[in-house]
Chain A
Amino acid sequence: MAAYVVRRVLVAIVMLFVMAFTVFALFFATPGDPALTSCGKYCTPEKLEGVRQMLGYDKPTTYQYAEFVKGVFVGRDYPVNDAYREALIANGNERLIIHCDAPCLGYSQRQASTVNELIGDAAPATFSLSVAAFALWIVVGITLGIIAAVNKGKWLDRILVGLTLVVYALPVFFIGNFFLQYVSIKWQLFPYPRYAPITDGIGPWFIGLVLPAITLALFFMAAYVRFTRAFVLEAMSEDYIRTARAKGLPSRQVLVKHGLRAALTPLVTMAGLDFAVLLAGAVITESVFNYQGLGLLAVRANQDQDLPVLIGLVLVAGTAVIVANIIVDILYAYIDPRVRLRK
């Protein structure tokens, strides 16, 4: 078991390196001048040169990659150019040197801020939203899925399955705007959702989260009702369910101990990966509710061609997926003895 975990972690680290390299290569080893996109609207030749020196874009790509990796592990300083930095110190402008601590993901000239700060500011909103939506869709989705499976073919099942179709068909921006325009503004059933950090208190944080979290969760909830229903029905048709019934176990025990245990295993994999993907930002939900999260940060970085921010976000998103993968694999081994006891 320990060897299994170690192996998974090693593989994950290799994957992260490959991912970082690929992303870097795609953005910096392609035609086009990365300095130009960082220079901004009113770019002069002098300013462009300054950006180059500042971010080290005048150096070969391999050197830039090495510096980038170094930054991730030990941190780095901007401007990248050593002579430039020394000149700043000599002129008594030391405060203009920007320290970016490890794991340094880069510096955004456009936003005059390190990528770490930008992501650090946006992450809590996205994380809160993801956790709330995740909890909601897992609890409600799986419960309704089990109810549908147990009542297969009856009216309750038909209604639930029909509803999932309706929810599937409604776009997220529609649901979000409906909540905003009607539930919150017109009918005043709920205070206008505004993100409040958890440091402001659990109450305001929670109230600000409810409508966006429901908006985000509904789509996944519909999917999970369907998946759970299918997995439970599949598990309940297995031979070992017949065995459990032939033993004379009460039907509740057959369902819960034998059926659900098997049915929920594939859901662990799905849930882990879906959650990880959400951590990269729920673009539409964040846009509708004006949540300053990673999704909106990514949208802005895309519009501005802000490469350092984009690379940082890709790495964060990729790391989330890879870490979730490891957690899922370990959970899986814990759940399934055939994985755990493999030689």
Chain B
Amino acid sequence: MTTRPFLSVENLSVQFPTPDGLVKATSGLSYSLERGKTLGIVGESGSGKSVSSSALLGLHRTSNALVSGEIWFDGTELLGLPENDMRQLRGNNVAMIFQDPLSAMHPYYTVGDQIAEAYRAHNEVTKKEARVRTIEMLSRVGIPQPDRRVDDYPHQFSGGMRQRAMIAMALINDPALLIADEPTTALDVTVQAQILDLLQDLQREFDTAIILITHDLGVIAEVADDVLVMYAGRAVEYGTTKQLLTRPAMPYTRGLIDSVPNVNDPLDRKLHPIPGNPPSLLNPHTGCPFFPRCEFSHLVPDNKCDTELPELVAISPGHLKRCHLPDASVLYGSANDYTPVTAIAERTGTR
């Protein structure tokens, strides 16, 4: 028996039957992750990044989603797991933090109550023991006066403190895998950095594997070891952070890099948004899903981008792309004359 990675997602597809037809939220997604490492999943809204991660926790089970593929977590296949076993894993071995901590917390219960609930769901402890543990966790995530704030309600916390509390809730059972779904999107920039630092500290301490879902390449550059770029429910590029940011091999990845503003840029540099909108997941394009928005498709002969879906192929060890472009170097040119890439890459290098 070959040893599987700690987390291995294989050929995962998530589809939703609707009156208008089958919505293919995720198609044939594969990735893997080891303990102590961070995988960044990047993509626009509706690219399937959140849906695929919810499937890891079995949160799709109350919806009418059709899920196929395999999810191997620490030697267990999760998709076929009975609901009760899955529930034992949820919040215990696999935990999740969400984008908007205000709506993700129940307004009628105290922060402490909601954190302690996660602890008591998986441990035979008294209320008092759970409370002690909760205060300890609040203190560890940097909430001042945790023994008093434990009795506050979510609306009495600031946005950053709420996200810290969510992290405390997610980490209270020392999960081996943490899924962070846009954990900093709803926060101020200064608070964003604090939260990312906190996540990294806790990751080192607990050797947690983290899946970080975001649309912000700046965040990815700062914390991710590997990056998976998703477009229209498919992986379009997958590799180490350094590979993707310095040698993007798919025009969409390059577009994402171009969209990141940088303080070192001249003031009059225009931002380069990607033109157009993400495609419908209801009737996917037969060719490359990115074709209608791609600026480089004219470099591919025989109109292949329009007619044929590219396979995910390796261009160097560990670096996969889904693109017909024969020579990806047109996307970054020589490293010196392409500033946005090098700027982000420099930030990666300083980690």
Contact = CB atoms under 8 A, between A and B. Distances in A.
Interface in A176-232: none
A251 B117 CA distance: 14
Contacts of A258: 106
Contacts of A90: none
Interface string A323-343: 000000000000111100100
Contacts of B89: 248
A336 B109 CA distance: 9
22 contacts: A239-B100, A239-B103, A240-B103, A240-B105, A242-B59, A243-B105, A243-B166, A243-B169, A246-B91, A246-B96, A247-B91, A247-B95, A247-B117, A248-B88, A249-B117, A249-B121, A250-B121, A251-B87, A258-B106, A262-B106, A338-B153, A341-B155
Closest 6 CB pairs of A and B: A248-B91, A248-B90, A247-B91, A239-B103, A247-B118, A240-B106
Contacts of B332: none
B57 interface: yes
Given A239-B98, A337-B153, A337-B155, A248 B106 contact: no
Contacts of A47: none
Nearest to A245: B59
Q: Interface centre among B103, B104, B105, B106, by most A CB within 10 Å?
A: B106
A236 to B, nearest CB: 8
B87 A243 contact: no
Tell me which of B95, B96, B104 has the highest count of chain A C-beta atoms within 10 A of its own C-beta: B104
A244 interface: yes
A82 interface: no
Q: Which of A242, A248, A335 has the most CB of B within 10 A?
A: A248
A240 B166 CA distance: 11
Interface in A25-61: none
Interface in B102-138: 103-108, 110, 114, 117-118, 121-122
B121 A240 contact: no
Contacts of A244: 106, 117
A240 B105 CA distance: 5
Interface in A239-270: 239-240, 242-251, 258, 261-262
Contacts of A239: 98, 100, 103-104
A247 B107 contact: no
A238 interface: yes
B208 interface: no
A261 B90 contact: no
Contacts of B92: 248
Contacts of B103: 238-240
B156 interface: yes
A341 B153 contact: yes
A248 B87 contact: yes
Interface residues of A, number: 21
Interface size of B as a range: 20 to 34
The residue in A243, A250, A251, A262 that gathers the most chain B C-beta atoms within 10 A of its C-beta is A243
A251 B103 CA distance: 20
Contacts of A247: 90-91, 95, 117-118, 121, 169
Contacts of B88: 248
Nearest to A338: B155
Interface in B70-106: 87-92, 95-96, 98, 100, 103-106
B90 A337 contact: no
Given A247-B91, A248-B87, A261 B108 contact: yes
Contacts of A240: 103-107
Contacts of B166: 243
Contacts of B87: 248-251
Contacts of B98: 239, 242-243, 246
Contacts of A242: 59, 98, 104
Given A243-B106, A248-B91, A261-B108, 19 more contacts: A239-B104, A240-B103, A240-B107, A242-B98, A243-B105, A244-B117, A245-B59, A246-B90, A247-B90, A247-B121, A248-B87, A248-B88, A248-B121, A249-B91, A249-B121, A337-B108, A337-B153, A337-B155, A341-B153
Contacts of A335: 108
A341 B153 CA distance: 9
Contact of A336 (B91, B107, B169): B107
Nearest to B92: A248
A259 to B, nearest CB: 10
A243 B104 contact: yes
Contacts of A238: 103
A249 to B, nearest CB: 5
